[in-house]
Structure 1
């Protein structure tokens, strides 16, 4: 079955891996990135009106949306708690929370109407285990998780689900090439993340809705829910 799936924040290595995996299995993928590079649609996800217009455009062209994979991310931190910059919080709020809010609010009605929809974010273990220097990042990730769990509650009883995939960190071939002697312990390969995203449609919506699934290598049962 071919699905219509939006991948937001698709311009980097993680987005490329997810788009490739979904496209290879026959899905129609709409890749969106603020820069518009690499064949992505250029959309500013901080612009709520632009996101709403995107949702309507996809509905008009394809008739439905069966998935939203939200990959917009970023990191800022400091050495100590006292050195935390609230300018970092402002940036992370926009990247990790505001874009998520705009996208989820615009696409929730389409996911609710889908016969087999999934909404996916990628979070970090730091959300539950914050360090002093990562206060702003951990707080933003935690807020993004809470927002996604609220969406999961809204989708309960429908044929769609909202899911949180958790990693410690991600790694791709470019990183390995740049540091061939580094082990990248506890890093999740972007291809494994892409496989996990695709696999969410292999399970029933109520089996994955509201789950936090840990993709860190060696994680117990691969699941935090």
Structure 2
């Protein structure tokens, strides 16, 4: 398969890219140094390039993330909202708009974002993060509606937070209770191909339970 991983830098991107590569698939890793995902034209050029070189896309895993919060609701900074809007929403919009036509034509395509439990139960100090994640979920569900009736699916994977080996090494006494290991996330994304597109399109799959 041809899998595009956006926001591929860091342990999560490495885990997801490594999972698909180990299973014999072609992975196109997109990090900040490759394409400015805030530039709609640049992202469209990326999608056109993938189509030109490979003729199709079988998966887009959008991993661009970020977190900002405050100690109370009243202390929330709307500068943090501006930052998270770009990271969590605008990049998603640009990527999904560019790749939707390719996904519609795919024989077995998947579009995946990672959301957070915080979108369901926002904390007072986490308003900007929770709102941005909720908006990203809504956008992805709209994409799912666009893919309805095709062989592709848009799916939201929900975590409390992610953990990797470097985090464990840096905090050996921490329990990371309820966190999802990045390798387990990668396996869950791969597992989406084991289920019919119609079954998982427009769904929120909770990896914390």
- TM-score bracket, normalised by the shorter chain, equals over 0.9
Return 5+ residue gaps in structure 2 as ranges. Answer: none
* CA apart distance, 1:31: 0.3
1:52 aligns with 2:44: yes
| Whole-angstrom distance in 1 between the partners of 2:177 and 2:127 | 23
SS of the residue corresponding to residue 37 of structure 2 reads: coil
State the partner residue of 2:99.
107
State the partner residue of 2:144.
152
State the partner residue of 1:184.
176
| Whole-angstrom distance in 2 between the partners of 1:33 and 1:82 | 34
Counterpart selection for 2:64 from 72, 77, 97 = 72
| Whole-angstrom distance in 1 between the partners of 2:10 and 2:152 | 27
| Whole-angstrom distance in 1 between the partners of 2:103 and 2:165 | 33
State the partner residue of 1:222.
none
| Paired residues for 1:34-53 under 5 Å | 34-35=32-33, 42-53=34-45
Kindly report structure 1 stretches of 4+ aligned residues shifted beyond 2 Å: none
SS of the residue corresponding to residue 66 of structure 2 reads: coil
State the partner residue of 2:4.
6
State the partner residue of 2:15.
17
Return 5+ residue gaps in structure 1 as ranges. Answer: 36-41, 220-225
Q: Which has the higher contact order (CA 8 A, sep 6+)?
A: 2
| Whole-angstrom distance in 2 between the partners of 1:133 and 1:27 | 41
State the partner residue of 1:203.
195
Counterpart selection for 1:81 from 50, 73, 79 = 73
Number of equivalences:
209
* CA apart distance, 1:125: 0.4
| Whole-angstrom distance in 1 between the partners of 2:197 and 2:174 | 38
